Amino acid sequence: MENEAPLLEMRNITKVFPGVRALDGVSFDLRAGEIHALVGENGAGKSTLMKVLGGVYPYPEYGGQILIAGREQRFSGVRDAEAAGIAIIFQELSLVKEMTVGENIFLGREPRRFGVVRWEELYRRAQALLADLHLPLDPHTPVRNLGIGQQQLIEIAKALSHEARILVLDEPTTALTEAEVETLFEILRRLSRRGVGMIYISHKLDEVFALSDRITVLRDGKTIGTAPTRQLDRERVIAMMVGREVGEIFPPSERHPGEVVFEARGITVKDPAVPSKLLVNDVSFFVRRGEVLGIAGLMGAGRSELLMAIFGAHAGRVRGEVFVEGKRVEINGPADAIRHGIGFVTEDRKRFGLILDQTVLSNMTLASLDRWAGHGITDLDAEIAVGERAMRELRIKAPNVFTSVGTLSGGNQQKVVLAKWLLTTPRVLFLDEPTRGIDVGAKQEIYAQINRLAQEGMAIVLVSSELPEVLGLSDRILVLHEGRVMGEFKRGEASPEAVMSCATGHARAKGEAAQI
Amino acid sequence: MSQVAKEPIVQSQAISEAERAQKGWRIQTAMLRAYTMIIALLVVWGIFAYLTDGVFLEARNLSNLMRQTAVTGILAVGMLMIIVAGHIDLSVGSLLGLAGGVAALVQYSLGWGLSASLLSALLVGLAIGALQGALVAYLNIPAFIVTLGGLLAWRGVVKGVTEGRTIPLSLESFKAIGQSYLAPPVGLALAVLAVIAVAWLNVQRRRARIRHGLQAPSGTEMAVRIVLPSALIVGFVVLMNSYAGVPIPVVVLLVVALIGAFITRNTTFGRYLYAIGGNQEAARLSGIDISRHVLAVFCLMGLLTGIAAIIYTARVGSASPDAGVLLELDAIAACVIGGASLMGGRGTIFGACLGALFMASLDNGMSLENVRDYIQDIVKGAILVAAVGFDMFSRRRG
């Protein structure tokens, strides 16, 4: 066994994005027939590692070596990786909804004769593949008629049609029912007996322990450890995931929370696509003057949806009541929310926060433009003065306010979004993943700003997938799991392990009495 | 550094150092597009002047050229705002035909007076713009489809109401809008007023900058900013006066373009249009009512189409069922040649007007040279694609 080359070996993989070292010398290996779980917090580098493996970041955009059965591979693109027997099933499924199951399985590789698709052949082979997976499905069915779970299985069938020997599954069960999860696991075990190696990425530790042979933990772009699953337990894995000392990065801060500024009661949000599903289920919370309320939870727990819904920007049906400074307010859109003093630094600054090819200045003043304008006529000089002051206060590093915001680093872009919302002089500020994808130095500056704002009396609601961030900055922490409040912790009471158990739905918070 | 940064004066100087270096570079890249366009225009003018033994550059022809630019230019101002917001309007040619047809009909068949027939053209434009805008903004039907439907439907309505005949204009005063000139002394007087306005605006701007604690432009900078536009204004009027005066349609275009430039640069409405076209999600989350702005910009386009229809019909002297065919494409081409992005969020009124002048120059020059109709179309099509191709190429490098 020892002298045999593993199916896959990734040696010392390094991947650097502008300003961020996403992977820092990660080593990882996979044996034939093995299910190897890859776990870590959001941003630990799991997805980046898989993108390197899948040829999304072609050679030599990364450092290190990829070996398959002992031979070094240098993929110049996704096609190369596929040809080498690697198939990745990403969280966002990549099926064409308007096509049939069979068409999807063979998309781009349809059996052809003289350039004409041989449909009987295609559907015959699709049928054989489905039968092989024990999937009772007609390959002529349009994919849009299938549930998410079945679509996931079609992706696997598609991967197998490539004769994939290495199958990567990125959070495959997030959208599945329990029965569907069982079917999936059965299929994965069957594939394992056939010698397919699988990399299984999941936040759900129950699944990881039920399924995997070995576990590798990543944190901050580094391998923390690899061990056989039976030698590990949940507590040990969680400790490896959270690891670092919280106190070091977060400056101590004196805060004196005052009266309640903002309160949300019974917020319930329906999934616009599936009306029977609740993304947020009866969530209530409040935040005081000068207080930071952290909202923790895993991906899909409903954190962003909660904030979006309160802000009047969610597509689905929303129920619940919102109070600002004790008065009930009606919010039918972002304009109402802004008028009532809510600021919202949204997640994904490139998609929701910024107009990338416009200047720093027009981005900064976008949400508050009518303040610097009389009767709809703008005053550019007043804007410039305001913008330059904001640049100084937030230490935004840009040549001037007319620099195109797309040319700035992630940290400075994030500060521009922050400036945009501070210029609306909010009473409560929502921050959704305010440090996603920015380097450590910029993160610390954002943390310092959050502390400064809280000390000046701003009420802040902080959503973050990075547990240390929530623990280090918040006065209170609310933990969501599948749209519900699973627990509430005070600063000092919360340990990473306790919050993580809550977030994975494993345990409710002990101090449930503390819930208001 | 952090100690120094606390001191505002030192800091602003530090910025202005970097600012100056960066600004020089920025101005180069940002102004390069404008310069390229002006140079391209001058090259085309040079070629035509050479080919026509100077006839192209005679005052009479330039006056004619300006008048030809007016209709496309007015449409391009509206189209630019539509394109900046990330939409398109394919119906303006047909709508222009309809609004002009209605204005001709009400005076020819119903005997309405000048102001009533002017108003009828404007109202037709506004109402149809509002209808199309509402379909785009509130029913989320893509603008391409709504206005493609409009392109067909409004042309059909024109043919219906005119019964396929050309309707002559009965009001001489109406024709005058398209055919007469500003009396030379009036033109000069307006030019002087414009020069005073330019100087006053520059002085105001300087005061405002000082009031906000920003760096004020230097004496030479002020002089250049006042003298250059003033020379252009006076030169233009003198040139036009040497033939017959500034044509009324050109006066209308200038007013429309000035208002358009003001709207896009100096109003929240204009700034929101750029935001909506640049990133609709970010704009929505910043509290901008997307639907209302889209509706408004289509209303504006309709109104401007009404104005263009009046000038077009008045210039021709009658309303024919096929008036304005393909004008929407000229307007779109003008915007795109002037640097607007069909993806939205990018473009200027100045560029669109230069683009309209460029398109009109091609028409005018090739007609002077008696270039056959079909070749004119081929040349215009090729130049449009080449202009955008060149832009994409230079943008990728830059």
**CA A157 to the chain's CA centroid:** 26
Provide the pLDDT for residue A510. Answer: 47
Cα(B339)–Cα(B333) distance, rounded to whole angstroms?
10
Read off the pTM.
Answer: 0.79
A67 pLDDT band, cuts 50/70/90, is very high
pLDDT above 70: residue A509: no
B15:A400 CB<8 A: yes
Separation CA B115–CA A502 (nearest Å): 74
CB contact (8 A) between residue B12 and residue A353? no
- In the three-class reduction of DSSP (H, G, I as helix; E, B as strand; rest coil), residue B34 is classed as helix
Contact B279/A355, CB-based, under 8 Å?
A: yes
Gap between the Cα atoms of B266 and A376, Å rounded: 8
Interface contact B18-A337, CB threshold 8 A = no
Residue reference for tokens 């109401």? B161
Q: For residue A9, what are the β-bridge partners?
A: A29, A67
Interchain proximity A356–B211, CB inside 8 Å: no
More confident residue, A244 or A84: A84
d(CA A390, CA A393): 5
Q: Would you call A172 helix, strand, or coil by DSSP?
A: coil
Residues on chain A touching B287 (C-beta within 8 angstroms): 333-335, 337-339, 367
B190-199 burial by CB neighbour count: b if 16+ within 10 A, else e? Answer: bbeebbeebb
Enumerate the H helices of A374-455 as residue ranges: 380-393, 410-422, 440-455
pLDDT at residue number A19: 59
Nearest residue of chain A to residue B269 (CA atoms): A376
* Neighbouring-strand partners of residue A404: A359
Which residue in A338, A355, A444 has the most chain B C-beta atoms within 10 A of its own C-beta, making it the best mutation to test that interface? A355
Q: What is the pLDDT of residues B57-102, one digit of tens each?
A: 999 999 999 999 999 999 999 999 999 999 999 999 999 999 999 9
Domains by residue range for chain A, with CATH: 8-246 (3.40.50.300), 258-341+429-439+457-515 (3.40.50.300)
Q: How far is CA B360 from the centre of its chain?
A: 13
Q: Using the beta-carbon criterion (under 8 Å), do A358 and B284 form an inter-chain contact?
A: no
Residue B218 included in any domain: no
* Residue B226 domain flag: no
Give the residue from B286, B291, B341, B395 with the most A CB atoms within 10 Å of its CB, the best one to mutate: B286
**A307 — pLDDT class (breaks 50, 70, 90):** very high
Spatial contact of B292 and B64, defined as CB atoms under 8 Å apart: no
Neighbour-count burial of A460, counting CB atoms closer than 10 A to its CB (0-12 exposed, 13-18 middle, 19+ buried) = buried
Q: What's the CA gap between A261 and A288, in Å, rounded?
A: 5
pLDDT, one tens digit per residue, over B237-252 is 999 999 999 999 999 9
Q: Is residue B7 part of a domain?
A: no
> What does the pLDDT read at residue A247?
46
Q: Residue B27 class from Cβ within 10 Å (0-12 exposed, 13-18 middle, 19+ buried)?
A: exposed
- CA pair distance B133, B89, nearest whole angstrom: 10
pLDDT tens readout for residues A241-265: 877 544 456 766 678 888 999 999 9
CATH code of B63's domain = 1.10.3470
Give me the mean pLDDT over the A318-342 stretch: 94
Q: Is residue B50 part of a domain?
A: no
Neighbours of B4 (CB within 10 A): 9
- Whether omega before A60 lies within 30 degrees of 0, making that bond cis, reads yes
pLDDT for res A409: 80
Report DSSP state, residue B218: P
Interface size, chain A vs chain B, as Cβ–Cβ contacts under 8 Å: 108
Distance separating alpha carbons of residues A190 and A184, to the nearest angstrom: 10
Using an 8 Å CB-CB cutoff, list residues of chain B that contact chain A.
5, 8, 11-12, 15, 18-19, 21-23, 26, 205, 208-209, 211-214, 266-269, 271-272, 274-275, 278-279, 281-289, 345-346
Which residues of chain B fall below pLDDT 50? 1-28, 398
**CA dist A140 → A108, A131, A143, B282 (Å):** 17, 14, 9, 40
Show residues of chain B in contact with A420, CB under 8 Å: 286
CA distance linking residue A322 with residue A326, whole number of Å = 9
pLDDT at residue A13 is higher than 90: yes
Parallel, antiparallel or unpaired: strands B318-319 and A214-219: unpaired
- A335 with B289: Cβ contact below 8 A: yes
CA torsion A2-A5-A7-A8 (nearest 10°) is 100
Contact B86, B323 (CB under 8 A): no
Count the neighbouring beta carbons within 10 Å of the beta carbon of residue A308: 25
Q: Please choose, from the candidates A89, A109, A170, A102, the residue with its C-alpha nearest in 3D space to the C-alpha of residue A130.
A: A102
Provide the pLDDT for residue B30: 55
Are A388 and B15 a contacting pair at CB < 8 A? yes
Percent of the residues in chain A that have a pLDDT greater than 70, as a whole number: 93
Distances (CA, A) of A439 to A354, A376, A404, A434, B63: 19, 39, 21, 12, 61
Three-state DSSP string of B283-337: HHHCCCCHHHHHHHHHHHHHHHHHHHHHHHHHHHCEECCCCCCCHHHHHHHHHHH
Report the C-alpha gap between B57 and B368 in whole angstroms. Answer: 11
| Residue A220 confidence (pLDDT) | 82
Residue B195 domain-assigned (yes or no): no
- Nearest CB partner across the interface for B268, out of A354, A358, A378: A378
In sequence order, the β-bridge partners of residue A489 are: A477
Averaged pLDDT score across all residues of chain B: 89
Q: Looking at the DSSP assignment, which residues form a beta bridge with residue A459?
A: A428
CA distances to A149, A205, A334, B208, B291 from A375, rounded to whole Å, are 54, 57, 21, 18, 20
Q: Is B276 exposed, middle or buried (0-12, 13-18, 19+ CB in 10 A)?
A: buried
Tell me, yes or no, whether B198 lies in a domain.
no
User: A511 pLDDT exceeds 80?
Assistant: no
The reply to whether residue B285 touches residue A378, judged by beta carbons under 8 angstroms, is no
Q: Which residues of A touch B209 (CB under 8 A)?
A: 381
DSSP state of A195: T
Average pLDDT of chain A to the nearest whole number: 87
Does residue A20 register a pLDDT over 80?
A: no
Q: Encode pLDDT of A88-116 as tens digits.
A: 887 767 788 889 999 999 988 888 888 89
Q: Which two structure tokens, joined as six digits, stand for B339? A: 């640097």
Would B190 be classed as within a structural domain? no
**Helix, strand or coil for residue A148?**
helix
Q: What is the pLDDT of residue B398?
A: 43
Closest CB to A366 among B267, B275, B346? B275
Find chain B residues with C-beta within 8 A of A311's C-beta.
Answer: 285
Q: In this structure, which amino acid lies at residue B346?
A: R
- Distance from the A327 Cα atom to the nearest Cα atom in chain B, whole angstroms: 21
Q: Minimal Cα distance from B343: which residue of A?
A: A357
By CA distance, what is A356's nearest residue in B?
Answer: B278
Nearest to A376 among B26, B205, B269 (CB): B269
Q: Is B385 exposed, middle or buried (0-12, 13-18, 19+ CB in 10 A)?
A: exposed
3-state secondary structure of A510: coil
Minimal-distance CA residue of chain A relative to B7: A392
Distance of CA A197 to the CA centre of its chain: 25
| pLDDT for A489 beyond 70 | yes
Pairing label, strands A166-170, A197-201 = parallel
What is the number of domains present in chain B?
1
Residue B47 lies in a domain: no
pLDDT for B364 equals 94
Backbone angles phi, psi at B210, to 5 degrees: -65, -40
A178: exposed, middle or buried (C-beta count within 10 Å: 0-12, 13-18, 19+)?
A: exposed
Which residues contact residue B291 at a Cβ distance below 8 angstroms, ignoring those fewer than 6 apart?
B137, B138
Parent domain of B150: 59-180+247-397
Residue B210 CA to residue B26 CA, distance in Å, equals 23
Of A334, A373, A380, the CB nearest to B287: A334
- Distance, CA of B90 to CA of B333 (rounded, Å): 12
Q: Which residues of A touch B (CB under 8 A)?
A: 311, 313, 333-335, 337-339, 344, 346, 351-358, 362, 366-367, 369-370, 373, 376-382, 384-385, 388, 391-392, 395, 399-400, 402-403, 420
Comparison of pLDDT for A466 and A448, the residue scoring more? A448
Look at B12 and A388 and tell me if their CB atoms are within 8 Å.
yes
C-alpha to C-alpha distance for B188 and B192, rounded to whole angstroms: 6
Which of B15, B278, B287 is nearest residue A355 as measured by Cβ atoms?
A: B278
The CA distance from B261 to the nearest CA of chain A, in Å, is 12
